[in-house]
Amino acid sequence: MSIFIDQSTRLLVQGVTGRDGSFHTRQMIGYGTKVVAGVTPGKGGELFEGVVPVYDTVADAVRETQPNAAVIYVPAAAAVSAIFEAADAGLGLIVCITEGIPVLDMTRVTPFLHERGARLIGPNCPGLISPGKCKIGIIPGNICKPGRIGVVSRSGTLTYEIIHQLSGHDFGQSTCVGIGGDPIVGTSFIQCLSAFQADAETDAVVLIGEIGGTDEQQAAEFVQRAMTKPVVGFIAGQTAPPGRRMGHAGAIVSGAEGTAAEKMAALERAGVGVMQRPADVVPLLKERL
């Protein structure tokens, strides 16, 4: 099994003919993802790579090709409208890769999605992959390996490093989810942990957090209360100078709660195996499995 996506996922790509959209759509198709439609206003009627039909609107694409998921590769100024359009067309899973979306705009997205029962992954995220089944977003498929370890992360490239460590030691992954590093994201650590807990083919979970906010502390409480599967974690930003604002919009430290030390302490109190460096992931998993 996997969470959120599998072989039956039928994907629509918003921004399919743009620079990033076209590059990553080729990668997703090459991986085996069922890309059934693309959307670029003004280019309806074209075929991407001679295979994928392009539509002017998401509604047209949904009516003609019956996708059940969308991925968004459009500039920040248009990304929220793209999320609204996908949710309004009835798509249950929306993955937004776009970074730089204003927080105020995201405050409008959350209730809109809730009303329509849609799940958003992101924004400002690498997407997700269920190795051997489906890839949505920009996670490199060649570093992933099918298996029974779930991965959930606020980071982007650090996710790739952890996956590389896992695959290199024959710890394949059930699903890897990059939830995004912005202050407001569509899917939380807790929602992913809950899904992994319910997934019969996930044996353990790797959680990758960052400084800023309290999401990791809330995840630690959930692990202690509701998880029976082993969880190991890493917090990025352990050497960040006090008061320094880091790259991710969500990496804003207010008082002690957002520091790496507080997050690591909260995870340890919850029984989570905490890494000092990404290379520790395999030894910690071996201890707990």
pLDDT bucket at 211, cuts 50 / 70 / 90: confident
75-111: per-residue pLDDT in tens? Answer: 999 999 999 999 999 999 999 999 999 999 999 999 9
Q: Is residue 129 part of a domain?
A: no
37-63: per-residue pLDDT in tens? Answer: 999 999 999 999 999 999 999 999 999
Q: Which of 24, 114, 169, 248 is catalytic?
A: 248
In whole angstroms, how far apart are CA 180 and each of 153, 227, 243, 282? 7, 22, 22, 24
Domain harbouring 194, CATH code = 3.40.50.261
Among residues 236, 72, 254, 225, the alpha carbon closest in space to that of 162 is found at 236
Among residues 96, 264, 126, the alpha carbon closest in space to that of 186 is found at 96
Q: Is residue 128 part of a domain?
A: no
194 and 115 in a single domain? The answer is: no
In whole angstroms, how far apart are CA 214 and each of 63, 176, 254? 41, 22, 10
| Per-residue pLDDT at 259 exceeds 90 | no
156 and 114 in a single domain? The answer is: no
Annotation says 248 is catalytic: yes
HSE-CB of 128 using CA atoms within 13 angstroms: 33
Q: Looking at residue 97, what is its pLDDT?
A: 98
Domain harbouring 34, CATH code = 3.40.50.720
**Owner of token pair 């009835």:** 90
Average confidence score pLDDT of the chain: 93
Q: Is residue 1 part of a domain?
A: no
Q: Which helix (H) or strand (E) holds 106?
A: helix 103-116
Range of 222's domain?
139-288
* CA 91, 177, 129, 79 torsion-angle sign: positive
Q: Quick one: tokens of 121?
A: 């992954």
Q: For the chain, what percent of residues have pLDDT higher than 90?
A: 87
